[in-house]
């Protein structure tokens, strides 16, 4: 058997550099490191470390209960839903849902369903949603659709409270972390 005939390479090709990576080993490891970091970032996103999965918190008082289901971590631009469940143990003349300023500061409130009888803000900037009177045993589910502003980065208080007019019934302490 004879050796294959030698191949004529173009003048621009240097076998040591282009095939054997001589002098380019650092570049290989930098590319591998970048791809590894990208893969870790994707795995973290799939594990929901950057938000969107909803968490449920509840609080109860003598006159009623309050439950909140909403994500505690959101990404900028994300449209997400908050579900607020109010259950009246006693008659509530003016059930009022109070959302801490962290819910609405640099966040767009797209819809509130069912429509509140009235809404306002207090001196601290908290959003107050007042609903029609509720007899004992009635449950009201309020859906609020939010959209996070991409420049709203960091941790924010996202407390929620249930009042009957000005009388506190139940309060939930929450924190929301916003990613860019």
pLDDT value at position 95?
A: 97
Walking along the chain (180 residues) 10 residues at a time, the average pLDDT comes out as 71 80 81 94 82 86 96 88 96 96 90 95 93 96 93 90 95 91
State how far the alpha carbon of 5 is from the alpha carbons of 11, 14, 18, in Å.
18, 19, 21
Task: Give the Cα-Cα-Cα angle 90, 93, 96 (nearest 5 degrees).
Answer: 100
Architecture field, domain 54-179:
Sandwich (2.60)
> Could you state, in order of their start, the residue ranges of all structural domains in the chain?
54-179
- At 51 the pLDDT is 66
Whole-number pLDDT of residue 22: 80
Write down the pTM of the prediction. Answer: 0.76
**pLDDT score for 76:** 85
At residue 39, the pLDDT reads: 95
The pLDDT assigned to 53 comes to 79
pLDDT on residue 37: 95
Q: pLDDT value at position 7?
A: 74
Distance CA 124, CA 127 (A): 9
Strand order in the sheet with 118-121: 118-121, 127-130, 95-99, 160-164, 167-172
């Amino acid at each position: 058997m004879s050796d294959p005939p030698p191949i004529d390479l173009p003048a621009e090709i240097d076998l040591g550099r282009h095939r054997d990576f001589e002098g380019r080993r650092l570049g290989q490891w930098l590319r591998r490191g970048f791809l590894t970091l990208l893969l870790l970032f994707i795995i973290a996103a799939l594990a929901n470390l950057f938000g969107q999965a909803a968490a449920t918190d509840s609080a109860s008082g003598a006159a009623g209960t309050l439950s909140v289901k909403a994500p505690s971590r959101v990404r900028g631009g994300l449209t997400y839903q908050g579900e607020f469940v109010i259950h009246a143990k006693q008659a509530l003349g003016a059930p009022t849902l109070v959302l801490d300023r962290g819910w609405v500061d640099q966040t767009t409130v797209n819809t509130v369903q069912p429509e509140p009888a009235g809404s306002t803000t207090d001196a601290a900037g908290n959003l107050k949603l007042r609903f029609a009177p509720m007899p004992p045993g009635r449950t009201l589910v309020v859906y609020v659709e939010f959209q996070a502003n991409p420049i709203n980065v960091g941790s924010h208080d996202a407390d929620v409270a249930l009042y009957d007019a000005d009388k506190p019934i139940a309060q939930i302490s929450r924190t929301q972390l916003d990613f860019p």
